[in-house]
Amino acid sequence: MFIVNSYPLAVLFCFITMMCWGSWGNTQKLASKEWRYELFYWDYVIGMVLFSLLISFTMGSIGSEGRHFIDDLGQASLRNIGSVILGGVIFNASNILLSASTSIAGMAVAFPLGVGLSLVLGTIINYIGAPKGDPLILFMGVALIVVAVICNGVASSKVQREGADPHASRKGILLALLAGVLMSFFYRFVAAAMDLDNFAAPAAGKLTPYSAIFIFTVGVLVSNLLFNSLAMRYPFAGERVSYREYFKGKAKTHLVGVLGGAIWCLGTAFSYIASGKAGAAISYALGQGAPMIAAIWGVFIWKEFKGAGKGVYALLAVMFLLFIAGLGFIIASGN
């Protein structure tokens, strides 16, 4: 299987993770023109599973180092499989809440709040579970990114559209906060099932990143039968939606959702692959710089801040500077 053997390459993989985690939300934004997020989410999960198989049978099945994907699956212990599945279930619950928040309060509000909170809590949890890197420098970087996220949130609040329902906004914020707390835990359960110290010759029963990402997506898919079915029947906003509506969807709309899942899965797989060299805390923290990538999409592509005052653009400039500085600290913490 393909293994990252240098820290600079691990950092590059983490940057790709950040790009993917901060970009998949665009597919939900595109699909929302056609149908509800609950329907989009089925294609999103299908995309995750399909891409996990693709990367496992390619990158996870080449080379002479480590165990190939099928061999690794066959020797995995039930305890480690269960840990990764639990991580998938926790992630799915949090991501459905984040998707609901995005549909109610918008991408510019949901991502900074939900992912920003998960960045702080998740980095702490993953560092305690697998300490790697200089904690002072690491958490200084996290602190800078948190301030950047706050700047983004303040800027977003200043351009909220007039006439917005305050009750809906509060619901969206609450869902984003709850999503952030849940999301902070999923990565630790996956990392605990992998031999982070030696992907080339992992301990018996432990998983490699490729088997882990596949099992993880299976956990997401199975739990989605319950979670998303409930969300469809008892939606956070709007009327109920049915499976009949899903099967009436256009092929193009389905493909947008599948693409979103594939983008997210690529980022997550690269994060798992990088964690062996960079450590779980650094891999997670760099990946969760995603709100800033989402902000870049919002500012330059979707023009969400068009017509905003100078004060808003000053906040955005400070946000990007703090974000870059924070990333620098996180990267330096692993040297």
What is the rounded distance in angstroms from the CA atom of residue 10 to the CA atom of residue 57?
A: 21
Percentage of the chain beyond pLDDT 70 is: 96
Residue 162: pLDDT over 50: no
Backbone angles phi, psi at 62, to 5 degrees: -120, 165
Burial of 239 (0-12, 13-18, 19+ CB in 10 A): exposed
pLDDT tens-digit readout, 44-58: 999 999 999 999 999
| Amino acid present at 26 | N
Those residues with Cβ within 8 angstroms of residue 74's Cβ, 6 or more apart along the chain or in another chain? none
CB 185 within 8 A of CB 88: no
For residue 194, which phi and psi values (nearest 5 degrees)? -105, 155
Residue with the larger pLDDT of the pair 107 and 23:
23
Interatomic CA distance for residues 298 and 306, integer angstroms: 10
**In whole angstroms, how far apart are CA 262 and each of 229, 235, 246, 308?**
22, 25, 19, 34
Q: What is the mean pLDDT of residues 6-13?
A: 96
Write down the domain spans for the chain: 7-332
Contact 203, 266 (CB under 8 A): no
Answer yes or no: is pLDDT of 161 > 60. Answer: no
The pLDDT tens digits of the residues spanning 96-133 come to 998 888 778 776 667 777 888 898 899 999 999 999 99
Q: What is the reported pLDDT for 146?
A: 87
Instruction: In whole angstroms, give the CA distance from residue 219 to residue 227.
Output: 12
Mean pLDDT of the chain: 91
Assigned token pair, 159:
């351009």
Q: pLDDT, tens digit, for every residue of 307-335?
A: 888 898 999 899 889 988 998 999 999 97
Q: What's the rounded Cα separation, in Å, for the pair 80 and 87?
A: 11
CA nearest to 189, candidates 143, 158, 220: 220
The closest of 1, 285, 308 to 149, measured between CA atoms, is: 285
pLDDT of 164 higher than 60:
no
Task: Name 102's Cβ contacts closer than 8 Å, sequence gap at least 6.
Answer: 25, 28, 37, 110, 111
> Which has more confidence, 280 or 158?
280
